[in-house]
Amino acid sequence: MDVTTLTLIELRDALRSGTVTSVEATRAYLNRITAHDDAIGAYLTVDAEGALAQAAAIDAARAAGQSAGALAGVPMGLKDIFLTKGLRTTCASKVLEDFVPIYDATVVERLRAAGVVVIGKLNMDEFAMGSSTENSAFKKTHNPWDIERTPGGSSGGSSAAVAARLTPGTLGTDTGGSIRQPAALCGIVGLKPTWGRVSRFGVIAFASSLDQVGPMGRTVRDVALLEEVIAGYDPRDSTSSQREVPTGLADLPRGADLRGLRVGLPREYFPESGLDPQVSSAVYAAVEQLKALGAEVKPVSLPHSPLGVAAYYLVATAEASSNLARYDGVRYGHRAKADDLYGLYARSRGEGFGLEVKRRIMLGTFALSAGYYEAYYRKAGQVRTLILRDFEAAFSEVDVIATPTSPTTAFKLGERMDDPLQMYLADIFTISCNLAGLPGLSLPCGFDNRGLPIGLQLLGRAFDEPTLLRVGAAYEDATTWHTRAPAEPFVARAGGAA
């Protein structure tokens, strides 16, 4: 049995039954990483020795009859934005190239408590700033469906690793779409929980009022299981919600109908230009499937959505400029040689940060500067409130909102690097969800004529992840898009069909 073909839940069950040991599962994933990651570039660090030691300890504990966690023995790679005790954490930046944390992020603690074996750290856009994983200081990650194309970003290493079966599931972070957009482009499932649902303690900060940790996997139920493990209050995160986390999220009944569910279709998310017709056709077909399952579909309006990108790139860059001020070459991180304090600051930051990070720091610093704060940052905050009110009005009429996740399928690597605006527009359908702090789910709903995946996005009320997961699981049970995998070997696919 090739354990890397199993979903996360199937692997968990195989480990519980003794069909496979954790050492066997871990070795299978390590072997697959060795065989295929040169083509994909998903991993920045692989800890084979440490992972096998963890796996052996879990097997020994299980053999001794000790109680096992919900994911005992499951190997997993993690985005390199999460602090991992004793394991290099770079955030894909030269500033942190040699940084080894002395403690785990809360979500990593919770995964370890559940028995997860951490096998390595996954590539990303530097400091999570990007939509294509081309801004990593160390390597580019390639989409397994076509290695000339992007896997999305910033969690592109995470999405590519799940799609290429280099990890059975993982966690990403989502500031403006960085879980959902790469999930869509790689044909997997990604959930951005409500802001505050999952602790951000030990997660390297980009934009604190927008960042959220969430799960990525091959199926909705895999994602639901991970969400249940990592969610919940954390006193070390002052923004962490004390709301109770629903249990049994992964045990959703199969073949359930959606009678009584109201699905909203916002006209602002289906523009006449800028949206690939193949994407809109696939999303409309997915909505028809929801209707066939019993859902009622009705139009809604989110009139301030067109302002989302502008508001986001003021809020996010302003918060980034503040959060990244700590990388000064004094306390930790890259330290340049200099003759005075100013030179130390300037050279350390100049050498350590990449182009996109510098661009966003400068934009954010300008937006917060004297004379411009009121005109830019405060105005963006007011627009953010209007966007939230739009959602509140829509959710008074519907239970979930269905949209495309991305306006296009995966674009070619290098295609947008010289045009930041076009790159930023890759997140046009995901950004408003972050501004409003709401949960969003992306799942596969089709393929274009090049064989590239298309994602359906479902948006929900605050803290109503259970409804999103229920709808996603019902759709998944009625379709087969999630069962398709990229063909091997992973190569560029002229003409496209996988």
Residue with tokens 């739009």: 390
Residue 324: inside a domain, yes or no?
Answer: no
79 is catalytic: yes
Percent of the chain whose predicted confidence (pLDDT) is above 70: 99
pLDDT at 148 over 50: yes
pLDDT at 496 over 60: no
**pLDDT value of residue 498:** 39
Residue 328: inside a domain, yes or no?
Answer: no
Question: E-strand spans in 211-280?
Answer: 213-217, 262-266
pLDDT at 104 over 70: yes
Q: What is the mean pLDDT of residues 165-194?
A: 98
Residue 382: inside a domain, yes or no?
Answer: no
**pLDDT value of residue 264:** 98
Report how many domains make up the chain. Answer: 1
Question: What does the radius of gyration of the chain's CA atoms come to, in whole angstroms?
Answer: 21
pLDDT at 219 over 90: yes
Q: What is the mean pLDDT of residues 484-495?
A: 88
- Quote the DSSP letter at residue 296: E
**pLDDT value of residue 310:** 95
- Any idea which of 114-118, 296-300, 317-321, 424-428 has the lowest mean pLDDT? 424-428
**pLDDT value of residue 419:** 86
Residue with tokens 């580019």: 140
pLDDT band (50, 70, 90) for residue 497: very low
Residue 342: inside a domain, yes or no?
Answer: no
Catalytic residue among 132, 178, 241, 348: 178
Residue 274: inside a domain, yes or no?
Answer: yes
* Cβ–Cβ under 8 Å, residues 256 and 477: yes
pLDDT at 34 over 60: yes
pLDDT at 331 over 90: no
- Any idea which of 25-34, 132-141, 388-397, 410-419 has the lowest mean pLDDT? 410-419
The Cα 265–Cα 433 span in angstroms is 15
pLDDT band (50, 70, 90) for residue 408: very high
**pLDDT value of residue 494:** 64
Q: What is the mean pLDDT of residues 436-456?
A: 98
Catalytic residue among 79, 121, 132, 321: 79
- Looking at every residue in the chain, the average pLDDT score rounds to 96
Q: What is the mean pLDDT of residues 218-227?
A: 98
The Cα 449–Cα 490 span in angstroms is 18
Whole-model pTM: value is 0.97
- Quote the DSSP letter at residue 389: H
pLDDT at 431 over 50: yes
Output the domain CATH number for residue 39.
3.90.1300.10
Q: What is the mean pLDDT of residues 450-466?
A: 98
Residue 154, preceding peptide bond in cis (omega within 30° of 0): yes
Percent of the chain whose predicted confidence (pLDDT) is above 90: 92
**Which phi and psi angles does 136 have, rounded to 5°?**
-60, 140
199 is catalytic: no
pLDDT band (50, 70, 90) for residue 275: very high
Kindly list the distances between the CA atom of residue 278 and the CA atoms of 338, 388, 445, in Å, as whole numbers in the listed order: 54, 29, 11
Residue 203: inside a domain, yes or no?
Answer: yes
Catalytic residue among 154, 155, 158, 159: 154
Residue 493: inside a domain, yes or no?
Answer: no
pLDDT at 274 over 70: yes
- Work out whether the CA dihedral 138, 144, 120, 250 comes out positive or negative: positive
**pLDDT value of residue 424:** 84
Q: What is the mean pLDDT of residues 142-164?
A: 98
The Cα 200–Cα 240 span in angstroms is 8
**pLDDT value of residue 293:** 98
406 is catalytic: no
Structure tokens at 495: 């003409």
Q: Which domain holds residue 154?
A: 3-304+389-483
**pLDDT value of residue 13:** 97
The Cα 367–Cα 378 span in angstroms is 9
